Structure 1
Amino acid sequence: MPRHVDHDQRRRQVAEALWRVVAREGLERATVRAVATEAGLSLGAISHYFGSQEELQRYALRLVDERDAARLAAISHEGTAREVVERYLWALLPLDEESRQSNAIYYAFMARARVVPAFREIAATVNDEITDLCRSGIEGLAGEGGIAPGRDVETLVAEFRALTEGLSFRAAMWPDQTPPELIRAVVTGWLDALLPAQAPPPGPPPGD
């Protein structure tokens, strides 16, 4: 009796194999043959689930975005705005194996999206999601007095995004030079610098 195959699970298996190839060797080497070998499947099996290499790549990119969205959706909103922002950052930035893999895949596909229209819609969605997260974090900090008066929210959103994307890009390109402890230190220092200046403690009364 033939064994039942869960088609959604098999498609995911193929996509996860593509993730591993892209993270390890780059998008250009993620051919259908390389993905089939990584997944332990035949070329015929791959073509049964995906009509083309582009279709497989689009599916894999959407799936990694869904995985990251689920990871962020599970974050607790308890505590201060600073604590919530940090939880989101530690989940999003390349600090563990899963987020480092997502980071490598993201940058591989973003370069392709500039010249391949099929990837532009997904790239635009990811772009909007990242901007919304940055804005939500800055507005939350501002609402709790965690930002010095007079700082422009939109400018801070742009700074926040530049900081996190700069660190993510460095981690994708030069992982040995961008360890998790450096990423945490840089982000924590920037968040600390947003705080309103603290008044100095009162000095001794005159005549003392």
Structure 2
Amino acid sequence: MPKIVDHDERRALIVEALWRVIARDGAHEVSVRHVAAEAGMPKSSIGHYVGTMPQLLGLAVDQLVQSNIDYVLSLDLLDLDADKATEVLFTLVPVSERRRHMSGVWLLLVSQAGADAEISDVLYGLNVSVSEGLHDVLVGMRQQGLVDASRDIGVEVRRLHALIDGLAIQCLTDPHLRSEADVRAILRHEVARLADPDPVTQRTIAASGR
């Protein structure tokens, strides 16, 4: 009787092997050959169960994003305070060694996106997922009075996404530049800023009333 192979199980094993390669050797050493060797499979199995290397990286990124989403969902977004909101945002910044290893995949995608359309698509999907997650967090914060009514949620999502990406790049490229306390302080100030009226909106309203 032919052996039944669980494709989902094989894909999970391959992604786990990818993370082990990254943790041990760094994201720059990721290749089909290295991942296959780590998984104890022939290289052809990677293509059969996962597809191309960009597709494998996409699976890894999806897993990374899902772990962050699961954490956010474990919190009550309808019961956020400034400290909880800061901690939610803090989870998105790779400040610990483990997070830096995992987020190295993101930096790899960023470095190759300009030359590979498939990787560019994976990165786009990641950015959409992060933006949607930040939108949900900011909506929850607004419902708790942590985002002033004068602030445009769409603009604030884009600003916050840019801030988190910037902090992530600094933490990944120079881990000594930003300590955990430093990152928390920056995000705490950002959360406090959101609770204040938007000066741009205020100036616009004032100008229209003249």
**TM > 0.5:** yes
Which residue of 2 is the match for residue 94 of structure 1?
Answer: 94
The answer as to whether partners of 2:92 and 2:164 remain within 8 angstroms in 1 is no
1:179 to 1:6, Cα distance in 2 relative to 1, 3 A: farther
1:68 to 1:155, Cα distance in 2 relative to 1, 3 A: closer
Give secondary structure in 2 for the equivalent of 1:92.
coil
Which residue of 2 is the match for residue 26 of structure 1?
Answer: 27
Which residue of 1 is the match for residue 162 of structure 2?
Answer: 162
Q: CA deviation at 1:32?
A: 1.8
Which residue of 2 is the match for residue 105 of structure 1?
Answer: 105
Q: TM-score, normalised by structure 1?
A: 0.72
The answer as to whether partners of 1:81 and 1:140 remain within 8 angstroms in 2 is no
**1: CA distance, partners of 2:88 / 2:135:** 12
Q: TM-score, normalised by structure 2?
A: 0.71
1:181 to 1:14, Cα distance in 2 relative to 1, 3 A: same
**2: CA distance, partners of 1:94 / 1:69:** 15
Q: How does 1:135-150 map to 2 (within 5 A)?
A: 135-147=135-147, 150=150
Q: CA deviation at 1:168?
A: 1.2
Q: How does 1:117-196 map to 2 (within 5 A)?
A: 117-147=117-147, 150-196=150-196
The answer as to whether partners of 2:65 and 2:129 remain within 8 angstroms in 1 is no
Q: Which amino acid aligns with 2:185?
A: A
1:166 to 1:72, Cα distance in 2 relative to 1, 3 A: same
The structure that is helix-richer by fraction is 2
Which residue of 2 is the match for residue 79 of structure 1?
Answer: 79
Give secondary structure in 1 for the equivalent of 2:79.
coil
The answer as to whether partners of 2:138 and 2:153 remain within 8 angstroms in 1 is yes
Q: Which amino acid aligns with 1:161?
A: H
Which residue of 2 is the match for residue 60 of structure 1?
Answer: 60
Give secondary structure in 1 for the equivalent of 2:176.
helix
Structure showing greater relative contact order (alpha-carbon pairs closer than 8 Å, 6 or more residues apart): 2
Unmatched runs of 5 consecutive residues or more in structure 1: 198-208
Root-mean-square deviation (Å): 3.4
Q: Which moved more, 1:44-53 or 1:182-191?
A: 44-53
Identity of aligned residues (%): 24
Per-residue CA deviation, residues 79-123 of structure 1 (Å, 9 max, x unaligned), is: 235355334223322244554333221221133233212233332
Unmatched runs of 5 consecutive residues or more in structure 2: 198-210
Q: CA deviation at 1:163?
A: 1.7
Q: CA deviation at 1:77?
A: 2.9
